[in-house]
Structure 1
Amino acid sequence: MAEKGREAMKKALLITDVQEDFLGNTLDYIETLCQKYLDEHGHEYDLIILTHWVHEDNRGEDTLLLHHDKAVVVEKTTYSALTPEVRDHLEKARIEEVHLAGVDSETTILATMFALTDSGYKVKILQRLCGSYFTHGSNAMAMKVMGQVLGHENILNVGGARVWM
């Protein structure tokens, strides 16, 4: 609840690249967890952005797996999700804090975390909603780096649960 005379900090949820062309291995669980989180907590955010990494093999195809009524979908071609279009959405909504989740922890999540932090946003990582295409060890290493940079209190252990597939 906001203090009298002070508005609550505006928050965005940014989920990167949960798309079918990145799944099919150890990451299959991430779609279910992220969609469940969106369904249960999407209303808590002032802005939801879902990124779709467009690369040579999926150009012209919609391989994004997540959806939410409030979500803005942004295509990107770089590791960092802080594209000019994403930056514009964040600025227009007057976002101060970004909760970050998605694929891949050791590349996209890490690059986006650095870009957001360098741009002055307060960043929190939704640890159990992040995954790594390469190995679980890569995810753990990325979380360790992000904890060092952001402070371990900003690596939130939320969103995870048993997934039955």
Structure 2
Amino acid sequence: MKKALIITDIQSDFLGNMDYIYPLCQKYLDNHAKEYDLVILTHWKHVENENENTLLLKSDGAKVIEKRGYSALTDEVKQLLQENNIELVHLGGIDSDMAVIATMYNLLDAGYKVQMLEGLLASYSTRNWESTTIMRFVLGDENVLNVGGGRVWM
């Protein structure tokens, strides 16, 4: 089964109280990106960052996709998933209770198998626990993977 990794919106203008998530996501990319057939990093463009590159993550071969709404399943992402014959998508990023969960639902509606990388999720509202509870209910415990976390040294 061909799989993709989508990490949403790890960008300097979004971190705030979630600055721990950037090194966790970068470490995961450094160690695991080659395990995926496709890696997508989204960059949410909005009025305040329209002409700036605030995306923090980097990974050789990753596709950087600009988006202007919550879900990462843009037309461009749909096309990339189809072109690469992706069946399984791993998700992580900011904001677990908005962008990540919106992407999860859109991917499910589009027929993809979805698994969440619990250690790579963060929430502005500190509602990460509630988000993962919903994800477990919708996807099943076996599809919320306890990977990607760890200690962060800044």
| Mapped pair 1:144 → 2:136 | no
**Larger CA Rg, structure 1 vs 2:** 1
Cα offset, 1:81, TM superposition: 0.4
Separation (CA, whole Å) in 2 of partners of 1:145 and 1:23 = 23
* 1:114 matched residue in structure 2: 105
Structure 2 SS opposite 1:120: coil
| Mapped pair 1:33 → 2:38 | no
* 2:68 matched residue in structure 1: 77
* 1:6 matched residue in structure 2: none
* 1:163 matched residue in structure 2: 152
Partner AA of 1:150 in structure 2: L
Cα offset, 1:60, TM superposition: 1.2
* 1:17 matched residue in structure 2: 9
Question: Where does structure 2 lack aligned partners over 5 or more consecutive residues?
Answer: none
Separation (CA, whole Å) in 2 of partners of 1:24 and 1:145 = 24
- RMSD over aligned CA atoms reads 0.5
Separation (CA, whole Å) in 1 of partners of 2:82 and 2:151 = 36
User: Which of structure 1's runs of 4+ aligned residues deviate more than 4 A?
Assistant: none
Superposed counterparts of 1:88-99, under 5 Å? 88-99=79-90
Structure 1, residues 62-108: CA drift from partner, whole Å, max 9, x if none?
00000101100000001000000000110000000000000000000
Alignment size in residue pairs: 154
Partner AA of 1:16 in structure 2: T
Cα offset, 1:24, TM superposition: 2.7
Separation (CA, whole Å) in 1 of partners of 2:11 and 2:149 = 19
- Percentage identity across aligned positions? 60
Could you tell me which of 115, 119, 125 is aligned with 1:134? 125
Could you tell me which of 101, 116, 121 is aligned with 1:125? 116
Separation (CA, whole Å) in 2 of partners of 1:52 and 1:148 = 28
